[in-house]
Amino acid sequence: MPIKKFTVFIVFAVLFSNCKQKPSEIIVLQIIPNPQNQSINEGNFVLRDGMGIQNDSDFNISADFLKNFIQEGSNITLKENDDIVFVKDSNISNAEGYVLDISTSQIQIKTNSAQGAFHAVQTLRQLLPVGFENGSFNKNEVVIPCLNIEDAPRFPYRGMHLDVARHMFSVEFIKKYIDALALLKINTFHWHLTDDQGWRIEIKEYPKLQEVSAYREQTLIGHFSDQPNAYDGKRYGGYYTQEDIKEVVAYAQKHHITVIPEIEMPGHARAAIAAYPELGCTGDSIKVAQTWGVFEDIFCAGKDNTFNFLETVLDEVVELFPSNYIHIGGDEAPKTHWKQCPDCQNRIKEEGLKNEHELQSYFIQRIEKYLNSKGKQIIGWDEILEGGLAPNATVMSWRGTNGAVEAAKENHNVIMTPTSHCYFDYYQSTNEGEPLAIGGYLPLEKVYGFNPIPEELNQDESQYVLGVQGNLWTEYIPTERQVEYMVFPRILAMSEVAWSNSENKNYEDFVNRVEEFNKRLDALDVNYANHLYEVEGDLISENGESFYTLKTLTKDKVIRYTTNGSEPNEQSAIYDDPIPFNENMTVKTAVFKNGKQLGKTFTEYFNYHKGVGKKITISPEPSKVYAGSGAQGLINGISGSDTRYGDKEWLGFWGDDVEITIDLGEEIEINTIKTRFHNGQGQWIYAPKHIEFQFDHDSQIIEVPHSKDILVNVLFDKMVRTRYIRLKVPNYGIIPEGKQGSGNKAWTFIDEIIVK
């Protein structure tokens, strides 16, 4: 009978030789994603040389995987016995569910499907020592605790994306990527194959896609926002042959992973138009894009030869990918050329369309109808909602969750992948020295905290949420090692968001499992980012006094700190109580264990000013996904990152005019007010055009100069006496044509308001 219930982790012994009852090594169980139900029972199962696996043909892939994993990872040789047995169980209703039952005499894997069997094997794999991963386990037996796991995924769609158009990666690396997805029970690989900067899939009917579209003359150096732009002068490119594609798809199938290709249309088509100019509206000769962003060169919706081209391309794509879905993009398609194109305008008149947005809907629906005739369904980014949603389309909601809500309420399937929680090209740490990224800030905890079911949906509507997906866009990720660094460990959190029920999630427990799981990643030679030993700080204000609190989530560690700017060491003060904040100071802190520093030093600069700790209100509230530390974070003495607009100090508002009121408690003299706005226009973020400062007896409007700088500073420089400070911040408005996010309202991001 069970002796212990657990949902977080168990500790068990790995015993070597002769079934001795004293453990020679203690291993912490770190199953990721966390199973739904698990219990540990009395006794152990001893896996030893000469045992065997029994299965019927339905489970050949899983049985072979397990057999190879054990034999190649250790000195254990398996034979034809029933020590490990796969059992067909029709009572398990979930298509990917399984039961893993380990007794003293046998390991049973019960499931109703080949997929369920494979997931069970991945769980059993994580019960074995990490040495099995790279063949370094040199014993011929291992003890596993008796336990029972009943498991099934929360969502049927659990995806991970990889953009190979901006930077391309080898077939061998794609297989390694798929290996990682399989380990984490992620069942879909979204392969982004075409974009403005490169066409990566061989289409035999159109050889110029390989000769021209697959290569760009040079690549941007540094960030898109850096002015002036610089380039490396090196030709870059390549493509996957159809044989490469078949090899990857077959490999994925053996790991029970579906590969969904993405062929972008009508936007992000510059590379294709560079090879075949007649596909564009102007017919002009253009080059494959050398920089990042959104381009006005999109497929012409008025010419039938555009659809002939795309249908021929899709004919070859369909033959290569057995998936039910084909992703057709549909995002970021500026309508500038369509508005001026006689063919597009004729199409609008002939089809009785109202505008260019309905023309895009016509485009998507025409492609959908064609793919439906081939037995395929389409997925598109949430822009495919504009102008009317295609009848059978699945929406991938990336611009927040509004697209998902709208689609689900129209009874369309949706996949959740909002930038706020699912874009792994964002920074994951506030540390200096992180690899260059597109911007934003998405730490591990925020990924883990994502709930894929929008609160606006009722129970019936929630059924249309198929699942969740992490995305990796590679504008700033040129190498395979950097891909791994940006994906891991955030993919671990995403796997648990997609698989585990909410009641089985606990971030502190997850962090402890990640700490152990990293040893498995080491054995697999995965270049993960390790930010587990960083310190997090928060400012609290009580009764007019402010204090800084510190924490780290990994167990059995000590936090040491200094307040004079010196580096912490094993002699520095141990953090036990909140640190008083009543003057300018620099706090440096780090995690220590056994006198040794783990991880990097965390530094926070404090600017003590007259607004710190005072009462502040904001209307409307910031976006839930960019709420930072809340309103109080705007007057806590801590400025946000210069590059990571999504950190704890920046507050984001989408399309709203904002009013901020600071109550100083009494009328006092102030001389200056400083603040700043993020202006990352490539991420739809625009500084306001002006700000109005209001006081008890005065007000002033300050114009904000137009700037392409990533940060825009605003200074009020005038002595006034007041109790209340109000900032009225109007939204920039609609993003203009030709810019990323054109036609949408801009985001406003504001940082610390410094009152002197």
Of 9-23, 409-423, 507-521, 595-609, the range with the lowest mean pLDDT is: 9-23
Catalytic site includes residue 161: no
Residue among 83, 133, 163, 195 flagged as catalytic: 195
Q: Is 11 helix (H, G, I), strand (E, B) or coil?
A: strand
In this structure, what token pair is assigned to residue 689? Answer: 């055009």
Split at pLDDT 50, 70, 90, the class of 28 is very low
- Does position 639 have pLDDT exceeding 70, yes or no? yes
Quote the CA–CA distance of 380 and 720 in Å, as a whole number. Answer: 54
* The predicted structure's pLDDT at residue 17: 34
Cα-flanking dihedrals φ and ψ of residue 547, to 5°? Answer: -140, 150
Rounded to whole angstroms, the Cα distance separating 700 from 690 reads 10
pLDDT of residue 9 exceeding 50: no
Q: What is the pLDDT of residue 80?
A: 82
pLDDT at 7: 38
Q: Which CATH architecture describes the domain 2-151?
A: 2-Layer Sandwich (3.30)
Q: What is the mean pLDDT of residues 144-162?
A: 97
Q: DSSP assignment, residue 439?
A: S
> Is residue 195 annotated as part of the catalytic site, yes or no?
yes
pLDDT(658) > 90: yes
In this prediction, residue 4 carries a pLDDT of: 32
- Please identify which of the residues 161, 190, 255, 268 carries the catalytic annotation: 268
Residues 52 and 78: beta-carbon distance below 8 Å: yes
CB count within 10 Å of CB 749 equals 26
Question: CA gyration radius for the chain?
Answer: 28
CA distances from 658 to 150, 498, 652, 726, 727 (A): 49, 35, 10, 10, 8
Instruction: Kindly state the tokens that stand for 544.
Output: 């007019």
Which are the contacts of 401, defined by CB distance < 8 A and separation ≥ 6?
Answer: 416, 418, 454, 456
For 57, 69, 164, 599, 622, the CA distances from 251, given in Å and listed in that order, are 19, 16, 18, 37, 45
How much is the pLDDT for 487?
98
Nearest to 397 by CA among 462, 335, 331: 331
Write down the catalytic residue from 83, 133, 163, 332. 332
Provide the H-helix boundaries in 374-443.
402-409, 419-422
Query: Which tokens is 58 given?
Result: 């339905």
What is the per-residue pLDDT across 589-632, written as a single tens digit (0 to 9) for each? Answer: 999 999 999 988 999 999 999 999 999 999 999 998 888 889 99
Q: Give the mean model confidence (pLDDT) for residues 732-739.
A: 88
> Token digits for 353?
């369309």
pLDDT in tens, 476-493: 999 999 999 999 999 999
CA of residue 182 relative to chain centroid, distance: 17
Q: What pLDDT sits at residue 51?
A: 95
Q: Which two tokens stand for residue 581?
A: 């904040």
- What is the C-alpha separation between 27 and 50, in angstroms, rounded? 24
Give mean pLDDT, residues 263-276: 98
Q: Is the pLDDT of residue 355 over 80?
A: yes
Write the class of the CATH domain 157-500: alpha beta
| pLDDT class of 706 with cuts at 50, 70, 90 | confident
Q: How confident is the model over 573-600, as a mean pLDDT?
A: 93
Pick the CATH number of 536-606 from 2.40.100, 3.30.310, 2.60.40, 3.30.420: 2.60.40
CB-count burial class (<10 Å; 0-12, 13-18, 19+) for 614: middle
Q: Report the pLDDT value the prediction gives residue 21, as an integer from 0 to 100.
A: 36
Nearest to 220 by CA among 194, 197, 192, 193: 197
| pLDDT computed for residue 30 by the predictor | 80
Strand pairing report for 79-88 and 52-54: parallel
Q: Look-up: residue for tokens 């899983």?
A: 62
Tokens standing for 66? 């397990």
Count of H helices and E strands in the chain? 17, 38
* Chain centre to alpha carbon of residue 132: 29
- For 361-385, the pLDDT digits (tens) are 999 999 999 999 999 999 999 999 8
Which pLDDT score, from 0 to 100, does residue 645 have?
A: 84
CATH T-level topology, domain 615-755: Jelly Rolls (2.60.120)
Please return the burial class of 629, using the count of CB atoms within 10 Å of its CB with bins 0-12, 13-18 and 19+.
middle
Backbone angles phi, psi at 460, to 5 degrees: -65, -45
- What is the spatial distance between Cα 713 and Cα 125, in angstroms, rounded to a whole number? 53
The stretch 84-90 carries a mean pLDDT of: 96
Token pair for 471: 């995305």
pLDDT band for position 683 (50/70/90)?
Answer: confident
- pLDDT of residue 132 exceeding 70, the answer is yes
Burial group, residue 246, by CB count within 10 angstroms (0-12, 13-18, 19+): middle
State the alpha helices, DSSP H only, in 255-323. 270-275, 304-320
Q: Is the Cβ–Cβ distance between 418 and 398 less than 8 Å?
A: yes
- If you count them, how many residues does the chain have? 756
| Alpha-helix residue ranges (DSSP H) falling in 106-194 | 114-127, 171-183
pLDDT (tens digit per residue) in 496-507: 999 999 988 999
Share of the chain above pLDDT 90, in %: 83
**C-alpha span between 138 and 152 (Å, rounded):** 33
Q: Which residues pair with 262 in a beta bridge?
A: 192, 327
The average confidence (pLDDT) of the chain is 92
Q: How large a percentage of the chain has pLDDT more than 70?
A: 96
Across the range 71-76, mean pLDDT stands at: 94
Burial profile 301-317: b = 16 or more Cβ within 10 angstroms, e = fewer: bbbeebbebbeebbebb
Check the CA dihedral 408-414-418-422 and report its sign.
Answer: positive
Is 550's pLDDT higher than 90? yes
Give the pLDDT confidence score for residue 37 in this predicted structure.
93
**Residues 322-335: what's their mean pLDDT?**
95
pLDDT of residue 29: 63
Burial class from Cβ neighbours inside 10 Å (0-12, 13-18, 19+) for residue 481 reads: middle
- Confidence at 433, pLDDT banded by 50, 70, 90: confident
Q: Is the pLDDT of residue 6 over 60?
A: no
Mean pLDDT (whole number) for 115-140: 96
pTM above 0.85, yes or no: yes
Read off the pLDDT band of 327 (50, 70, 90): very high
Encoded tokens for 221: 């150096």
**475 in active site:** no
CA proximity to 312, closest of 240, 211, 204, 200: 204
620 cis-preceded (ω within 30 degrees of 0): yes
DSSP for 488-515, written as a single string: TTHHHHHHHHHHS-GGG--HHHHHHHHH
Region 530-554: mean pLDDT is 89
Contact between 749 and 684 under an 8 Å Cβ cutoff? The reply is: no
Domain boundaries, the chain: 2-151, 157-500, 536-606, 615-755
Tell me if residue 73 falls in helix, strand or coil.
helix
The pLDDT value given to residue 682: 80
DSSP per residue over 414-430, as a string? EEE--HHHHBTTSB---
Alpha carbons within 13 A on the beta-carbon side of 112? 12
Reported confidence tier of residue 643, pLDDT bands at 50, 70, 90: confident
Per-residue pLDDT tens for 195-216?
A: 999 999 999 999 999 999 999 9
Q: What does the pLDDT read at residue 598?
A: 92
Closest of 478, 480, 509, 479 to residue 492, by C-alpha: 509
297 touches 338 (CB < 8 A): no
Q: Position 337: which residue type?
A: H
Q: What is the pLDDT of residues 223-258, one digit of tens each?
A: 888 878 899 999 999 999 999 999 999 999 999 999
Q: How far apart are CA 128 and CA 149, in angstroms?
A: 15
The DSSP string of 536-574 is EEEEEEETTEEEEEEE--SSS-EEEEESBSPPP-TTSEE
Q: Which pLDDT score is estimated for 703? A: 93
As a whole number, mean pLDDT of residues 32-42 equals 93
Provide the H-helix boundaries in 288-377.
304-320, 336-340, 342-350, 356-373
Query: Does residue 22 surpass a pLDDT of 50?
Result: no
Q: What is the per-residue pLDDT across 463-472, written as a single tens digit (0 to 9) for each?
A: 999 999 999 9
